[in-house]
């Protein structure tokens, strides 16, 4: 089945995935990767809450405002990298100061 190129409903569900839903509870594996979770939109059955993948979707999606806030938050610069940058900048300035003072010391 091919979609018509002018279909206004094409990709409508892209922003309505389980990972951004308020009913989604992620299940983190031992390696820290979260690809699976539980949907808590409806009461659990005898086997528990429905297992879903982060890219699944349904008609009951409700946007999780906390997830949106986390996605729009800028990623902080790691402190060790920032420290390395400052150290390199300071050593560069010190080298420039030594080069400009060197001719005066020999004179």
pLDDT digits 0-9 by tens, 7-32? 666 666 677 888 889 999 998 878 87
68 and 56 within one domain: yes
CA 9 to chain CA centroid, Å, is 27
56 and 34 within one domain: yes
Domain that residue 55 falls in: 1-73
Residue 40 confidence (pLDDT): 93
Counted domains in the chain: 2
84 and 35 within one domain: no
45 and 20 within one domain: yes
> Which residues, 6+ apart, have CB-to-CB distance to 48 below 8 Å?
38
Instruction: Report helix, strand or coil for 21.
Output: strand
Yes or no: say if 68 and 20 are a contact pair by the CB < 8 Å rule: yes
Residue labelled with tokens 């699976």: 36
61 and 26 within one domain: yes
Mind listing the pLDDT tens digit for each residue in 38-88?
A: 999 999 999 999 999 999 988 888 888 887 777 776 655 555 656 666 777
36 and 4 within one domain: yes
Length of the chain: 107
51 and 26 within one domain: yes
68 and 18 within one domain: yes
Instruction: Give the predicted TM-score (pTM) of the model.
Output: 0.53
44 and 12 within one domain: yes
Q: Is the pLDDT of residue 3 over 70?
A: no
67 and 45 within one domain: yes
- Terminal-residue alpha carbon distance, the chain: 85
Residue 30 confidence (pLDDT): 82
Report residue 92's pLDDT band, with 50, 70 and 90 as the boundaries: confident
Residue labelled with tokens 């094409």: 10
β-pairing verdict for 24-27 and 36-39: antiparallel
């Amino acid at each position: 089945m091919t979609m018509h190129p002018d279909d206004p409903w094409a990709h409508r569900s892209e922003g309505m995935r389980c990972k951004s839903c308020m009913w989604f509870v992620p299940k983190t594996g031992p390696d820290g990767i979260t690809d699976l979770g539980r949907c808590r939109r409806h009461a659990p059955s005898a086997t528990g809450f429905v297992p879903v993948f982060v890219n699944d979707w349904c008609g009951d999606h409700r946007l999780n405002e906390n997830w949106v806030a986390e996605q729009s938050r800028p990623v902080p610069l790691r402190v060790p990298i920032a420290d390395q940058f400052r150290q390199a900048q300071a050593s560069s300035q010190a080298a420039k100061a030594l080069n400009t003072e060197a001719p005066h010391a020999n004179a």
